[in-house]
């Protein structure tokens, strides 16, 4: 299949769909994984992130423009960007993120572990597997993280396999800047609009934690015609790993001061001003972690 020369990315995408349709005589199925990756990779650089968003908006609008040649389109990603900001040109999407019918589409169920993976369970505590890796919920059946489960079966060790693949530096920085109270993270509430609000210009704390997998839905309730969601940590891996990462980051200043103090002891007594500053840092950090604002 040869595409025309001089086309931009969106133009080449549109021609690819049309040529595939003509060549095979059947409507095309479009599958897009990690549709939001170019944006997420540039969240700390808003100008570049906005350029990526605008480029993706043009790209995905091609799908609607080629509607006569498309049978089905399926897009998956980490975040849930507003249709207005990213999918304004593709406004006929059906969002199944919190549809109970599809809640188990991206994970292993209890039945999967007990039936499909039954030979792998020997020697592993079943309740520990559930505590460590189950709990992700989108208003339906809770599921296990497949990445964790597969590595557990291979290595036979309970570890934060998924969390260790990447340090959530951006998330830690955002929570630190917003003076987030640590004990409150596992008790957040949000409505449907809040969970859907995720854009470069405004990233809500609840939406950020939920869409990146660090919080999940505990229960859904309807109040005066509006759906409200109680959020929680999905499992031990996420709770333990995220908490430790935040505590390490928030205590970094105090650790730096203590390290400097240790060095100063080798050459001179600590000044009164330095001792006061060191104590203040430690008290402020402790208060931010264990006390409500």
- Write out the two tokens for 178: 């917003």
Residue 270 has a pLDDT of: 40
d(CA 237, CA 162): 8
Residue 230 has a pLDDT of: 94
Q: Share the mean pLDDT of the chain.
A: 82
Q: How many CB atoms lie within 10 A of CB 141?
A: 14
Model confidence over 37-62: pLDDT tens digits?
898 888 878 899 889 988 998 999 99
Residue 85 has a pLDDT of: 67
Q: What secondary structure letter does DSSP report for 108?
A: B
Residue 159 has a pLDDT of: 96
d(CA 10, CA 91): 17
Measured CA to CA in angstroms, residue 148 lies from 12, 81, 163, 168, 286 at distances of: 38, 27, 9, 17, 32
Give residue limits of the domains in the chain. Answer: 9-95, 104-248, 251-290
Residue whose token pair is 């008290």: 283
pTM: 0.77
Q: Residue 41: how many CA atoms within 13 Å on its side-chain side? A: 7
Instruction: Determine contact, residues 179/64, Cβ cutoff 8 Å.
Output: no
Residue 292 has a pLDDT of: 40
Residue 284 has a pLDDT of: 44
Long-range CB contacts for residues 40-45, cutoff 8 Å, separation at least 24: 40/78, 40/79, 43/170, 43/200, 43/203, 44/170
d(CA 100, CA 114): 22
Nearest to 195 by CA among 168, 224, 217, 178: 217
Give the start-end residues of each E strand in the chain. Answer: 28-32, 70-75, 189-191, 198-199, 202-203, 216-223, 226-232
Instruction: Determine contact, residues 38/52, Cβ cutoff 8 Å.
Output: yes
Question: Which residues does the chain have with pLDDT short of 50?
Answer: 266-293
Model confidence over 95-135: pLDDT tens digits?
888 889 999 998 999 999 999 999 999 999 999 999 999 99
């Amino acid at each position: 299949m040869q595409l025309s020369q001089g086309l931009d990315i969106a133009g080449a995408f549109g021609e690819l769909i049309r040529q595939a349709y003509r060549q095979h005589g059947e409507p095309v199925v479009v599958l897009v994984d990690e549709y939001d990756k170019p944006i997420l990779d540039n969240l700390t650089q808003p100008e570049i992130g906005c350029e990526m968003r605008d480029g993706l908006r043009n790209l995905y609008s091609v799908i609607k423009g080629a509607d006569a040649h498309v049978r089905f389109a399926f897009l998956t990603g980490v975040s849930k960007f507003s249709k207005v900001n990213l999918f304004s040109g593709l406004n006929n999407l059906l969002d199944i993120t919190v549809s109970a019918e599809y809640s188990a589409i991206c994970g292993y169920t209890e039945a999967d572990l007990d039936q499909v993976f039954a030979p792998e369970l020997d020697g592993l505590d079943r309740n520990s597997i559930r505590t460590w890796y189950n709990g992700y919920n989108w208003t339906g059946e809770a599921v296990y993280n497949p990445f964790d489960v597969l590595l557990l079966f291979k290595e036979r060790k309970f570890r934060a396999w998924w969390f260790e693949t990447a340090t959530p530096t951006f998330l830690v920085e955002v929570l630190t800047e917003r003076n987030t109270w640590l004990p409150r993270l596992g008790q957040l509430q949000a409505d449907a609009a809040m969970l859907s609000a995720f854009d470069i210009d405004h990233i809500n704390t609840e939406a950020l934690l939920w869409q990146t997998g660090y919080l999940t839905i505990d229960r859904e309730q309807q109040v005066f015609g509006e759906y409200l969601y109680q959020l929680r940590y999905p499992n031990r891996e996420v709770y333990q790993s995220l908490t430790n990462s935040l505590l390490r980051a928030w205590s970094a200043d105090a650790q730096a001061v203590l390290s400097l103090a240790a060095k100063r002891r080798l050459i001179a007594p600590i000044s009164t001003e330095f001792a006061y500053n060191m104590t203040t840092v430690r008290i402020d950090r402790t208060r931010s972690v264990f006390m409500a604002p």
